[in-house]
Amino acid sequence: MKIETVLAHAGLCTDAPTGAVSTPIYQTATFRHPALGVSTGYDYSRSVNPTRQALEQVLAELERGDRGFAFASGMAALTAVLMAFSAGDHIVVSDDLYGGTYRLLERNFKPFGIAASYADATALEALERAVQPGRTKALLIETPTNPLMKVTDLERVIALGHGLGLAVIVDNTFMTPYLQRPLELGADLAVHSGTKFLSGHNDLLSGIVVARTPEWSERIRFVQNSTGAVLGPQDSWLMLRGLKTLALRLERQQANAAGIARWLAAHPAVGRVLYPGLPDHPGHAILARQASGFGAMLSFTVKDPAQVERLINRVRVITFAESLGGVESLITYPVRQTHADIPAEVRERIGVTDDLLRLSVGIEALEDLIADLEQAMQ
């Protein structure tokens, strides 16, 4: 079935006894056992809840994986993935990545003996140099990266990782399985902040892991059940509801993003425009090959640093807020918000500079978005 149909049918008629068209919200912690040693298949909602299960099944289908797992946030999903490793293990991570993931690795997992090194994932030699033979167990890649929109060639990185016996984990938050499916290219795990495009309405937090193989499914299932940061039934339902329109939303959002990127690129006050849909973006050809669109995220620099504050304070249609992927456009200042936990010298080195702004483009009328930016930048 085509992905648009899978999306529109997310959670459709999962409740056989009633025929409910929309998956019911099973707001229950536990389930009655018919007799000693007999189970309905549902024992306790931390292990399996029917509403969460409907969501997890559709996500596995969308990512073309073995099983999906829904968590309370993207960070909870990444935590579950990292908990599948052991003290002494080492992970090589894209150097341009969501600040919360950097903080999780450096502040939470390092003290437990799971170490990370950071490398430019767009340069295979840099990734390979960061691998510590015998100790490195995985590559963790964001592509396109947050916030610099650097594109990694997934096929080549997966071949490199698997050649060295490493698991390959891809944070697919920016693209979603509608545009890019890393597991089809051989990655072992796809991770999402489901808070973003998958839910799409800036109204809930969630995290998703989809495993390609039954072995990885079992590792993640064990962590999900034993540590318990699961997505509740209400939010699972809301996310199923959001997923139904993912294709429509993303098509509109990325058309708007392309329009804004072209407009920004021609604006005299703007420095660099980082949008992989622009033909001169270094990752343009790779993303065109490995994804079916360029997404709705873009970053740009302003020539006059004072412009940053003016712009943030003056936007009216676009909202100054931390997050992305929803139907409403948001503008973010990475150095003070999403990437504040990355040390200043690391940010400078990788290019997350004081003049950089990030836009998550929504479904509003393109003319209104451009007029808003125009008036704010005057």
Of 73-81, 116-124, 261-269, 359-367, which part binds ligand PLP (CB under 6 A)? Answer: 73-81
Q: Which is nearer to ligand PLP, 100 or 283 (CB)?
A: 100
Residues 139-158 close enough to bind ligand PLP by CB under 6 A = 142, 146
Size of the site for ligand PLP (CB under 6 A): 15
Q: Given candidates 75, 81, 154, 286, which one binds ligand PLP under the rule CB under 6 A?
A: 75
- In our burial notation (b when 16+ CB lie closer than 10 A, e otherwise), range 257-268 reads bbebbebbeebe
Cα 137 from Cα 127, distance rounded (Å): 13
Is 137 among the residues known to form the active site? no
Cα 45 from Cα 133, distance rounded (Å): 41
Give the shortest CB-76-to-ligand PLP separation in angstroms. Answer: 7
- Contact call for residue 334 and ligand PLP (CB under 6 A): no
Q: Residue 298 has which token pair?
A: 């873009």
Q: Given candidates 50, 100, 233, 276, which one binds ligand PLP under the rule CB under 6 A?
A: 100
Cα 78 from Cα 290, distance rounded (Å): 23
Q: Given candidates 131, 205, 223, 264, which one binds ligand PLP under the rule CB under 6 A?
A: 205
Is 196 among the residues known to form the active site? yes
Of 31-39, 97-105, 254-262, 352-360, which part binds ligand PLP (CB under 6 A)? Answer: 97-105
Cβ partners under 8 Å of residue 27, min gap 6:
233, 234
Q: Which of 52, 181, 196, 252 is flagged as catalytic?
A: 196
- Contact call for residue 98 and ligand PLP (CB under 6 A): yes
- Contact call for residue 74 and ligand PLP (CB under 6 A): yes
Q: Which is nearer to ligand PLP, 192 or 281 (CB)?
A: 192
Q: Which is nearer to ligand PLP, 169 or 373 (CB)?
A: 169
Helical axes 246-265 vs 366-377, angle rounded to 10°? 40
Q: Which of 26, 95, 98, 181 is flagged as catalytic?
A: 98
Half-sphere exposure of 55 (CA within 13 A, CB side): 31
- Contact call for residue 333 and ligand PLP (CB under 6 A): no
Of 68-76, 162-170, 179-187, 254-262, which part binds ligand PLP (CB under 6 A)? Answer: 68-76
Cα 212 from Cα 53, distance rounded (Å): 17
What's the order of all strands across the beta sheet hosting 90-94? 67-71, 207-211, 189-193, 167-171, 136-142, 90-94, 115-119
Give the shortest CB-231-to-ligand PLP separation in angstroms. Answer: 11
Is 244 among the residues known to form the active site? no
Give the shortest CB-214-to-ligand PLP separation in angstroms. Answer: 25
Q: Given candidates 23, 49, 73, 256, which one binds ligand PLP under the rule CB under 6 A?
A: 73
CA-CA distances (angstroms) from residue 213 to 134, 205, 367? Answer: 23, 26, 45
Give the shortest CB-332-to-ligand PLP separation in angstroms. Answer: 9
Residues 245-274 close enough to bind ligand PLP by CB under 6 A = none
Residue, CB closest to ligand PLP: 74
Is 171 among the residues known to form the active site? yes
Residues that bind ligand PLP (CB under 6 A): 73-75, 98, 100-101, 142, 146, 171, 173, 193, 195, 205, 207, 338
Active-site residues, by number, are 46, 98, 171, 196
